[in-house]
Amino acid sequence: MLLIRTDHDSATHYLFEACHEVIEEAKRKGFQPLCIESKEITLTTIQKRVKKSHPRFFFFNGHGSDSSVFDNKGKELIARKDADVFSETIAFTRSCSCLQKLGEEAVNQGCRSFIGYRRSFYISHLDSYATRPLKDPAAKPVLETSNLVALSLIRGKTVGESIEASKRKSAEYIRDLSYSNDPYLSATLPALINNVAALGFCGDEGASLNVSK
């Protein structure tokens, strides 16, 4: 498993912290997650690690566009011309809009299945929790439901099942938040709905990581 997590602004810091849960679950399930962070996040490093370790699961966390994902400086990291880096993996990019073009090209170049978002990925959060993202009640539903895609894959679910698990959990949160009087959570609802509507995949819906259950 290859996990790339950028951390250079509020959004990426929230995603960086949210990955802890995924890393711990991966270890429990017998994966040896290779984390690429900080200055190591370069295309050359990623290509070398992919060539050496042949990951089954490629999990990217950071900013993106419809045709690329970005590094810690906001510069293009993996573009469509580099999409062979996803070959033979199930990829999940927790980034804006990548599913549209990068995902399609990744599958064309051998990615088994590419999970991502069709438009901007929103995170609602409270400014008082900037240094404690995992305690932020406004961010929790967004982070938990998107984490569930990665967690479900690690637990042996197929791509289709993993996306469905995330959408089901999102629907539960949406139902509960709709009846909540908490004004802070009124920002969470549209973010959650946006993200669940944007979540999708290209490639093989039945692909899985073949984890012993």
Partner 1 sequence: MTTYGEDIKNLVKERLRAIPANVRFSVGSYGEFTREQLIQEIDLNTPIGKDIIEMQVNFIREMPKIIAKASN
Residues interacting with partner 1, by CB under 8 A? 9-11, 14, 63-65, 70, 74, 95-97, 119-128, 138, 170-172, 174-175, 178, 183-184, 186-187, 189-191, 193-194, 196-197
* Nearer CB in complex with partner 1: 3/139: 139
- Smallest separation, CB 119 to partner 1 (Å): 7
* Nearer CB in complex with partner 1: 57/117: 117
3-state SS string over 128-191? HHCCCHHHCCCCHHHHHHHHHHHHHHHCCCCHHHHHHHHHHHHHHHHHHHHCCCCHHHHCHHHH
- Smallest separation, CB 123 to partner 1 (Å): 4
- Smallest separation, CB 182 to partner 1 (Å): 10
* Nearer CB in complex with partner 1: 64/203: 64
Crossing angle for the helix pair 188-198 and 159-178, to the nearest 10 degrees:
160
Closest alpha carbon to 47 in 25, 78, 20, 68:
78
Using the structure block, give the residue that is written with the tokens 């509020």.
10
* Nearer CB in complex with partner 1: 59/121: 121
